[in-house]
Structure 1
Amino acid sequence: MDFKQILTTLPTVDHLSGLDIVDVNQQVIHHIPAIEGKLGSLRVYYALALAFSGQLDRTSAEKGLALFAEHTLDAKANIGKHPNIDFLFNVIDKSLNYRLIAVEK
């Protein structure tokens, strides 16, 4: 499936204003807002939050890359073009662990 098809299988995010990624000190280190152009990323990260009990680690990041489908290949070829995918690469490369916190409207 391509990314557009995968999106149809993911939970909706109409009730969210965004999603925070926090470190072990509860500091927000990344935020994905619920705005046009970021909604696909928000849906992927929200799906990861639900599927992995709010944990973002190597395993959940790998699943996220699979969900981003063809955009993952584009991100590998064009570092910086897809910052939310680059973030997942970084989690995997550095064996990082974060919490995903959905921010309700």
Structure 2
Amino acid sequence: MKFADTLKTLPQFAGTKLVLTDTSGAEVATIANAPGTAGSFRVYAHLAQQYGAINAEAAAEGLAIYAEHTEDAVQHPGKHPNIDRLIAIMKTGEALDVRIE
């Protein structure tokens, strides 16, 4: 299934941004709930709801949700930073906590 089709099946989440923090509580990234990043906001919020954090299991599901964009991210590192982050979590196993504001 393509990303756009899968995205339609995910729940909506309220908030203006999603804040990702590492295990020490340091902020590592934010994803705005705005045009251009609203899809990633929704994916990460869904993963956090399902798994409690973005861990390796959540990252694997996220990469499946991103579908065709995951392959593009693998071929073009840096083009899709929110996907690159999930790939890094799969490699390192280092989870990120999520807070929606």
Question: Normalised by the size of structure 2, how large is the TM-score?
Answer: 0.94
Kindly indicate whether residue 62 of structure 2 is the aligned counterpart of residue 64 of structure 1.
Answer: yes
Give the deviation of 1:36 after TM superposition.
0.8
Distance 1:47 1:97 in 2: 15
Cα RMSD after superposing both structures: 0.9
In structure 1, list runs of 5 or more residues that go unmatched.
none
* SS of 2:19 mapped into structure 1: strand
The structure whose residues are more often strand, as a share, is: 1
Distance 1:29 1:19 in 2: 11
Distance 2:81 2:41 in 1: 12
Match of 2:47 in 1: 48
Match of 2:32 in 1: 33
| Counterpart residue type for residue 12 of structure 1 | Q
- 4+ long deviations beyond 6 Å: none
1:27-85 per-position Cα deviation (integer Å, ceiling 9, x unaligned) = 111110112100111110011011112x1111110111011011001101111110000
**1:1-105 equivalence runs, <5 A:** 1-13=1-13, 15-53=14-52, 55-103=53-101
In structure 2, list runs of 5 or more residues that go unmatched.
none
| Counterpart residue type for residue 76 of structure 1 | V
State how many pairs are aligned: 101
